[in-house]
Structure 1
Amino acid sequence: MSNGLATRQTMTQANYPMPYLACPHPNEFDLRRIARLLAQRVRYRYVEPEVQAIAGGYQIVSPCCSRNIDASGGTIDIARLEYVVQESLWRLYYKDHQRNMWQLHLEAPKLKMLITQLNEDPLRIFWQ
Structure 2
Amino acid sequence: MRKRNGYTFIDMLVVIVALGLVTLFTVPKLSHAFENNKDTLYDESLELYLNQATKYGNTIKNEVKENNSYIVTIKDLVDKGYIGSSDGEVTDIRDGSSMLNMKIHLIYDEEKDTVYAEVV
Q: Same fold by TM (over 0.5)?
A: no
**TM-score in terms of structure 1 length:** 0.27
Structure with the largest fraction of helix: 2
* Greater Rg by CA: 2
